[in-house]
Structure 1
Amino acid sequence: MANPPESSISSEFPFMLQNIDVLDSKMAYIDTKNTKITTATAIFLHGNPTSSYIWRNIIPHVSPKLRCIAPDLIGMGKSGKPDIAYRFVDHARYLDAFLDAIVPTGKVVFIIQDWGSALGFHWASRHQDRVIGVAFMEFIRPFATWDDAGEKQGQETFKAFRTPDVGRKLLIEDNLFIKAILPGGVVRGLSPEEQAYYQAPYLDEKSREPVYRWPNELPIEGFPADVYEIAEKYHDWLLKSDVPKLLFWATPGVFVRDEQAKWYSENLKNLKTVFLGKGLHYLQEDHPHRIGSEVAEFIDTLDSSFRSS
């Protein structure tokens, strides 16, 4: 079946979010509950400042194949906003507890982007026996230099975000990530309905703490040291692992530009790459149907022993 044209991208959110108690808060999530397939689950993890909403046009391609789970990360989307620092290790702790509750056993396939990629790779490297495939795009790795993390203009912007007083004004007071960085990372732009959905969790300054913290967690030139060490470990796993991999990339891209896509195509084992065409950072908003159909085909190539008959 041919993919729907990307012009048919819908702003509608066709899922009923569920909630589950996680540690001292709650997390909202999509669960398609495909009862025909009981031994594998597709886990979709978003990044900053989005939510499970970013997968709305992708999951329908995948849900006929596997049960699909897509949480809103803690402090984001419609999940709770506990009084925590929202560092990477905090997110990992809540996500670990969430996955322990929702998918305590069985095989998983990750579909991940941005900070969702860091969290997904981190979990996968610690649960290698459960991971049967990883599809990823615009992913976070240990950036040895600022040049590896993006083009010059983007570097200067993120350096400002990481300057304490300046960053808090830009991201907390001015809400710049929601108002400019997010729509600016989508080639087609966002409709008013899409922008409103993404903006809704961050209407007051206190609610924007997670959005502010994420740029400060980016593992660049060894800092922050703990996040950089974690990223080095999961990146080492990614390079050595034989698990099937699917990498999406676009041009000009942000974290994954032409040179990075070429390098990973030559250095990752068991990898298929898919070039999407024009794209920046939020590829799910520009190419959801292509991503969804490619992920569905990718799942068909995985070891059939994980699927129930």
Structure 2
Amino acid sequence: MTARYPGYPFTSRWFAHACGLRQHYLDEGGGAPLLFVHGNPSWSYLWRRPILALRDDFRCIAPDHIGMGLSDKPAADRYPYTLAARVADLDALTGHLIAHHGAPPHGWTLVMHDWGGPIGMAWACRHPERVARLVILNTAAFPSPHGRRVRPPLRLPLWVLRETRLGDWLFRRNAFARGATWRPLGVRRRMPAAVRAAFLAPYDRPEHRLAIQRFVHDIPLRPDDPAWPVLRATGKALERFAGRPAFIGWGLRDPVFDPAMLAEWRRRLPGARTVVYPRAGHYVLEDAHEHLVPALRAFLRETS
């Protein structure tokens, strides 16, 4: 797969859910498990650099959410595309690896980005005894510290994407995923063309972009949004992880996960080791990997 997905020389694995859908995941290396949970509109390709750097010492597990990456991409009548469904998928996959593939029931490290935060932390709240450490990269697992008000720079774009026919057209044209690979929306330094193509490859047809659109529609802004109860409950339960070793790596030039989000994480996890990258954007692993991956490796070795 390296030719099509540069820097991704991994073995594809598949888990068949009870509903019949196949979920793609990576399972590289050995040792204590690291569970990499991506967001929208990325996939496990996001984790290629830390997996290559860490698989000699750790077991690196990185699923693609249903509808994303190399996983099956069902129509809306076959899959609900909700936060609750994502958490259930992660629970089923990790339970399968523990029951049938030698993964331990304890000592997991969660590595989360973007929507991976709500998904991963909701899973962690189901199984707090499994989670030994947290790694937090430009994500959230609590209602926005800005309250119910969407910040002005995001208000109009979010309304267009969620509420208008123009938004439907933009998703059909893959504008959301394409925009995330361009400066200044997702990255702050130019993404190489082959890398950009790899990020976009799973979303090559309109019917393969449904998950991207549904993730945006599922953003919980109000208590009556379907994902709100899960996110609110997860935020309330975060205090039980305040004593676990945690690493926060944050790109400060993220237009969505802004310094207020970072401050909220630091308030909830006061003992976390925090490293900020002033020139990095939302895809902090693309903008600052030369510094972030070694910092992550050092944290994992020092807290093992």
The normalised TM-score by structure 2 is 0.86
Higher RCO (Cα < 8 Å, 6 or more apart): 1
Deviations 1:75-114 (A, max 9, x none): 1111112332312222222222111112342321011101
Aligned partner of 1:99 in structure 2 is 94
Aligned partner of 1:64 in structure 2 is 56
CA RMSD of aligned residues (A): 2.2
Cα distance in 1, alignment partners of residues 264 and 22 from structure 2: 40
Identity %: 24
Cα distance in 2, alignment partners of residues 192 and 85 from structure 1: 33
Aligned partner of 1:89 in structure 2 is 84
Alignment of 1:68-147 (within 5 A): 68-82=60-74, 83-104=78-99, 105-140=105-140, 141-143=142-144, 145=146
* Residues 47 and 31 of structure 1, relative CA distance in 2, 3 Å threshold: same
Aligned partner of 1:25 in structure 2 is 21
Amino acid at match of 2:178: K
Deviations 1:108-136 (A, max 9, x none): 10111011111100001110011000101
C-alpha contact (below 8 Å) 1:108/1:131 kept by paired residues: yes
Amino acid at match of 2:300: I
Cα distance in 2, alignment partners of residues 145 and 261 from structure 1: 12
SS at match of 2:278: strand
* Residues 163 and 144 of structure 1, relative CA distance in 2, 3 Å threshold: farther
Note the residue ranges of structure 2 that are not aligned, 5 or more in a row.
Answer: 100-104
* Residues 55 and 222 of structure 1, relative CA distance in 2, 3 Å threshold: same
Amino acid at match of 1:19: W
Cα distance in 2, alignment partners of residues 137 and 168 from structure 1: 29
Aligned partner of 2:206 in structure 1 is 205
Aligned partner of 1:55 in structure 2 is 47
Cα distance in 1, alignment partners of residues 155 and 190 from structure 2: 22
Equivalent pairs, count: 287
- Structure 1 stretch 271-280 or stretch 234-243: which is displaced more? 234-243
Aligned partner of 1:274 in structure 2 is 275
C-alpha contact (below 8 Å) 2:251/2:278 kept by paired residues: yes
Note the residue ranges of structure 1 that are not aligned, 5 or more in a row.
Answer: 1-9, 305-309
Structure 1 residue 263, shift from structure 2 partner: 4.2
**Match among 7, 10, 20 for residue 15 of structure 1:** 10
Cα distance in 2, alignment partners of residues 274 and 148 from structure 1: 28
C-alpha contact (below 8 Å) 2:28/2:59 kept by paired residues: yes
Amino acid at match of 1:264: W
* Residues 189 and 152 of structure 1, relative CA distance in 2, 3 Å threshold: farther
Aligned partner of 1:307 in structure 2 is none
C-alpha contact (below 8 Å) 1:29/1:71 kept by paired residues: yes
Structure 1 residue 148, shift from structure 2 partner: 7.1
* Residues 112 and 267 of structure 1, relative CA distance in 2, 3 Å threshold: closer
Structure 1 residue 164, shift from structure 2 partner: 4.8
Aligned partner of 1:192 in structure 2 is 193
C-alpha contact (below 8 Å) 2:109/2:133 kept by paired residues: yes
- Structure 1 stretch 40-49 or stretch 176-185: which is displaced more? 176-185
Structure 1 residue 222, shift from structure 2 partner: 2.7
Cα distance in 1, alignment partners of residues 16 and 181 from structure 2: 29
C-alpha contact (below 8 Å) 2:161/2:168 kept by paired residues: yes
The normalised TM-score by structure 1 is 0.85
C-alpha contact (below 8 Å) 1:134/1:244 kept by paired residues: yes
Structure 1 residue 264, shift from structure 2 partner: 3.2
Amino acid at match of 2:60: C
